[in-house]
Structure 1
Amino acid sequence: MIRTFAAPLFCLLLAASANAQQKLRPLDEADNQADFAQFRQQLHSILKRHDSAALLALIHKDIQTSFGGKGGIEEFKQLWHVENPKSALWPTLSKILSLGGAFDQQGRFIAPYVYSQWPASIDAFKYVAVIGKGVRVRAAPDTSTTIVAKLDYAIVEKLETTTSDAAWVLIRLEDDTQGYIDQRLVRSAMDYHAVFDKSSGKWQLTALVAGN
């Protein structure tokens, strides 16, 4: 009888652990404004083909590039090396666009949803969002190790780790369970986010910054 119920019991424990976590579910309001949805689709295409000239045409001349610098298009170009097809800009902005976003009270579109919807009551320096469903938490940073929990869009505490493997993030759940998640499946609200605003009748990228 023990063998019969061992697997179901383990699954129930995994579910209980996951359900205890606060959620940050995906949100994408882009389709609420048809002209912005069209703009974003155009931007997706530009990023896919690494078209620096077309991208720069969609960037505001006074774009914010950090919380300390002067900003502006020239600083943006120097920071991101936009002429380089291997620039980190292409995957960074593509990832941001893939994670939805929301319009704020000023009518700007803020992406990704992890930033725009992050709960003010939760420390963004200590916690990260799981950006998938059924994400496996492993006992060790290895896909062959035991699954200690499965998470759906949960907010989890990120812990310091001594492992040199940057592919994994050590996290702690509300019930004190610790484990590792594939770093591609979590995101911090402190990561890069983008702001899009409508100026002179057209949408533009007005900020691409990290931090809060």
Structure 2
Amino acid sequence: MRFAHARRVGLLLVAGALALQGCNRDDPPADQLEQAVTETVDEIEETPQPDGPYAPRNDCTRVAGASPFLADIRSAVSARDTEAFVALAAEDVKLDFGGGAGRDQLRAMLASDTAPLWAKLDELMTLGCASDGDALITLPWYFAQDISADPHTGMIVTGTGVPVRETAAEQAPIIAAVSWDVVELMDGGAGTSGFAHIRWQRRGAPASKPTVIEGYIDATRLRSLIDYRLVGASRNGKWRIISLIAGD
């Protein structure tokens, strides 16, 4: 189950070894390898992050044991390995607000490779991770942030520079662009146009531009504030999924 984590470490070492070609050949091999790996890690850490106040971030790398735990989750999700995923959940994992809980119910929710929950998990794997102390992590990252919006109409725009159009049409004029921010869903949904009617409170808008933008946005770029989230906790030194739930 630690294959994904081990693979990343292996790739990092390979990258470091390849980078030795650029090191000073007069240095001892161990020093060359350390230099190469350090430079490779620096390059990875300097990779630009998406723009926007709620763009995915990973705060969980600082939490002991969280990174291999998340690697195991990603591996199970990628492989659609139900038993591997269920094994990472606590026996009393919470699954809904009606009393649904436990590994058997989770297993039933992942009964086939096309079960809808797999797609939700795929999405969760891309949305960052927030930490709360040394024993609790939350995916997506934004769910652990202080967001002052109605949880039922608040939506995260999942992308950078997503256009807001004047009307619900692909050819309509673009009146704004939103990057990983919260918008308010109007009129209850997207209808048949594929566009959702939204209102956006623009941050730091120049005096020459309106503060509140109302328009239409590609509905596939919106994710509810209370869509699925995964909470993991360390219990007696072992990380387990303690909640996988949507709604409120």
Counterpart in the other structure of 2:137: 109
Give matches, 1:54-73, under 5 Å: 54-73=84-103
Work out the CA distance in 1 between the residues paired with 2:162 and 2:177.
5
CA distances 1:25-72 after superposition (whole Å, capped 9, x unpaired): 433212112521122122112111111111111111100011221411
Contact 1:28 1:113 in 2 (8 A): yes
Task: Provide the rounded CA distance (Å) in 2 between the counterparts of 1:192 and 1:166.
Answer: 25
Alpha-carbon RMSD: 2.3
Partner of 2:25: none
Paired amino acid for 2:227: D
* Cα pair 1:26 1:100 within 8 Å, conserved: yes
Larger radius of gyration: 2
- Does residue 98 (structure 1) correspond to residue 126 (structure 2)? The answer is yes
Higher RCO (Cα < 8 Å, 6 or more apart): 1
What amino acid is the match of 2:112? N
d(CA) in 2 for partners of 1:137 and 1:77? 40
Q: CA offset at residue 165 of structure 1?
A: 2.7
1:188 to 184, 203, 224: 224
SS at match of 1:173: strand
Is the alpha carbon distance of 1:150 and 1:71 closer, same or farther for their aligned partners in structure 2, counting shifts above 3 Å? same
Is the 2:82–2:107 Cα contact (8 Å) retained in structure 1? no
2:238 pairs with one of 197, 202, 206: 202
Looking at structure 2, the residues matched to 211 and 163 of structure 1 have their Cα atoms a distance apart, in angstroms, of 19
Aligned length: 188
Q: 1:176 to 1:163 in 2, by over 3 A?
A: same
Does the CA contact (< 8 Å) of 1:50 and 1:85 recur in 2? yes
- Between the aligned partners of 1:200 and 1:138, the Cα distance in structure 2 is 51
1:179 aligns with 2:219: no
Q: Does 1:131 align with 2:167?
A: no
Matched with 1:5 is none
Shift of 1:201: 2.2
Unaligned runs of 5+ in 2: 1-51, 202-210
AA matched with 1:201: G
Q: Deviations over 1:71-126 (max 9, x none)?
A: 11122233x1x22010112111121121012112472101102211142x332223
Rounded Cα–Cα distance in structure 2 between residues aligned with 1:165 and 1:199: 47
Matched to 1:88, the amino acid is P
Tell me if structure 1 keeps the 8 A contact 2:95–2:106: yes
The 3 A distance-change label for structure 1 pair 85 and 199 is: same
Relative distance call for 1:34 and 1:98 in structure 2 (3 A) is farther
1:159 deviates by 0.4
